[in-house]
Amino acid sequence: MVTGEVIVSTPQGNMVVPVKVISKGPSIKNTVVVQAIKGEPFAGFSLNAGYYPKRTATVFKENVYNVRDTISGETVNTHPNLRVEFQAQ
- Nearest by Cα to 1 from 66, 56, 72: 72
Top pLDDT among 80 and 5 is at: 5
Q: Give the domain range for residue 21.
A: 2-88
Domain count, the chain: 1
What is the structure's pLDDT at 29?
87
What is the structure's pLDDT at 67?
86
Give pLDDT tens digits for 15-71.
899 999 998 888 888 889 999 999 888 888 989 988 889 999 999 888 888 888 888
Specify the amino acid at residue 17: V
Q: How far is CA 57 from CA 3, 20, 84, 88, in A?
A: 14, 11, 25, 25
Q: What is the pTM of this model?
A: 0.74
